[in-house]
Amino acid sequence: MSIIIPEIIVLATAFAILIADLFMNERTRVYLAPAAVAGLLLALAVMVVHTPASGALIGGRFTMDAAGWWFKILFMISALIAVLLSMDTLDGRARVRVRGMGFRGEYYSILLFSVVGMMFLVSARDLATLFVSLELATLPLFVLAAWRRDDPKSGEAGLKYVVLGALASAFIVYGFGILYGLTQSTDLETIAQRLAGERAPAFWLAAALVLAGAGFKLTIVPFHMWAADVYQGAPTPVTAYLSVGSKAAGLAFAFQVFYRIFGDALPHWDMLIAIFAALTMTLGNLVAIVQHDIKRFMAFSAISQAGYFLLGFLGAAEEGVPAMLFYLLVYIFSNLAVFACIIWFENETGKGQIEDYRGLSLSNPLMALGMTLALFSLAGIPPLSGFVGKFFLFSIASKAGFHGLVAVAAVNSTISLYYYLRVVRQMYIEPVDERVPAPGSSVSIGLSLALLSVPVAILGILPTVYEGIHAATIAWLASMPQG
């Protein structure tokens, strides 16, 4: 029974916030965010201390495994930080008021519902649960993206996201339908067994449809088009959550699909994955260079990072899976750290162009340092965690014989260094803009940045985390149905 307790705690928190919101006034609603944080912390604690890394409930329809354990931890951490980053904006503590960001109770509760959806996603063992939980994970994101109702950009972002999301979901459902038709089962293990050695054309069609759906969530080129507009238009704290939560959910979905359903065929898709990886990182990087809006810039950076993730699907799962999970961990921490600074800066100055960050190292050295650290980690500069994460992924691709791809990835890393350094240059070399008042500080954002910077700096040096992930995924792979 204990394996579902974290989900129940998060769910209960969501409902409690939703109901409590009805009986609160504007003044007391500031306690909603701490309540959400408390609920997530409790769930995290139960997860870490109490939840075993394997088990099954409801006749095997809800299961727990070692990789899922890591995923759930990551989802909850992302949500936790997202709540911390949203607090200032929603409670009106921002110096430059962001208009139209009300409905705190609803905001936090559907954020938590999205986490619940992601957590069920990794525990799903049948097509129906997989699909419904994927929808539960993403539907709140559509709504959150459109949250700023007085900002047409936000509404536009929400609409674009929901239309394209529906398109992706339609493709996934179509694919699932064909899979069911081929195997007469919704159970993932049974499907995998019956699909073993299956080479019917419809199988490939189904695979392509499901791959496209996973590509949408992971922002793989050419399924990435929504990302830039949605990232830019959505309220910035939502963008922060979107950039990590959606990607983590996408990776979890990809793991479910690739390793549980198509595990047998995955080795034959190396070429396809390599093409997508090369396309994704190149396009994301090239377009990021010419951006001026920092959120849009981060959107293309996130797209290019997705290309690096794909490298992990090449070669043996025993190495690829831990490398991808580790890089996800690194990516989440680094990206959220960058967004913490972006949100803080927007709250304090109301500005969001890269050029607006000039002289930040003088007006607030700590924030500038945190952001630099995180950007360097994303660029993969040793000894920061991003370097080690990329190193693992690159070495997998090179071991799988994709030397050309590794060369492309290395060139892309160099390009990315250029544009990440653009931001750093603004902060450290350009003179401060005297007309802009010096930004103040924020407790919740400062706290989250501090919490994030430490792992960004040390994850690459401490081997324990990677070893933990490695051990977990080996156990996870051992539990896979042998197709």
Name the residue nearer to other proteins (CB basis): 226 or 326: 226
The DSSP code for 54 is: -
Decide: is 445 part of the binding site for other proteins (CB under 8 A).
Answer: no
Decide: is 222 part of the binding site for other proteins (CB under 8 A).
Answer: yes
Strand, helix or coil at 219? coil
Interface of this chain with other proteins, residues 238 to 297, rule: CB under 8 A: 268-269, 271-272, 275, 283, 285-293, 296
Decide: is 110 part of the binding site for other proteins (CB under 8 A).
Answer: yes
CB of 14 to other proteins, least distance (A): 9
CA-wise closest residue to 353 among 287, 298, 417, 303: 298
Name the residue nearer to other proteins (CB basis): 49 or 373: 373
CB of 99 to other proteins, least distance (A): 9
Decide: is 95 part of the binding site for other proteins (CB under 8 A).
Answer: no
Give the max Cα distance, the chain.
68
CB of 312 to other proteins, least distance (A): 16
Interface of this chain with other proteins, residues 363 to 422, rule: CB under 8 A: 365-366, 369, 388, 391, 415
**Single-letter amino acid code for the residue at 345:** F
**CA angle (233, 83, 146) in 5-degree steps:** 25
Separation between Cα atoms, residue 424 and residue 440, nearest integer Å: 20
Tokens of 367: 């924030």
- Residues near 375 by beta carbon (within 8 Å), at least 6 away in sequence: 334, 338, 420, 421, 423, 424
Interface of this chain with other proteins, residues 332 to 361, rule: CB under 8 A: 351, 353, 355-356
Decide: is 8 part of the binding site for other proteins (CB under 8 A).
Answer: no
Decide: is 427 part of the binding site for other proteins (CB under 8 A).
Answer: no
Separation between Cα atoms, residue 268 and residue 323, nearest integer Å: 20
Residues 196, 199, 202, 207, CA torsion sign: positive
Name the residue nearer to other proteins (CB basis): 88 or 151: 151
**Applying CB under 8 A, which part among 22-30, 219-227, 305-313, 434-442 lies near other proteins?**
219-227
Tokens of 450: 């501090």
Backbone angles phi, psi at 481, to 5 degrees: -65, 130
Interface of this chain with other proteins, residues 25 to 54, rule: CB under 8 A: none
**Applying CB under 8 A, which part among 112-120, 238-246, 331-339, 340-348 lies near other proteins?**
112-120
CB of 143 to other proteins, least distance (A): 3
Name the residue nearer to other proteins (CB basis): 53 or 369: 369
**Applying CB under 8 A, which part among 25-33, 38-46, 222-230, 341-349 lies near other proteins?**
222-230
- Residues near 108 by beta carbon (within 8 Å), at least 6 away in sequence: 14, 17, 32, 33, 35, 36, 83, 86
CB of 457 to other proteins, least distance (A): 9
- 199 bridge partner residues: none
Residues 53 and 128 sit within 8 Å (Cβ to Cβ) = no
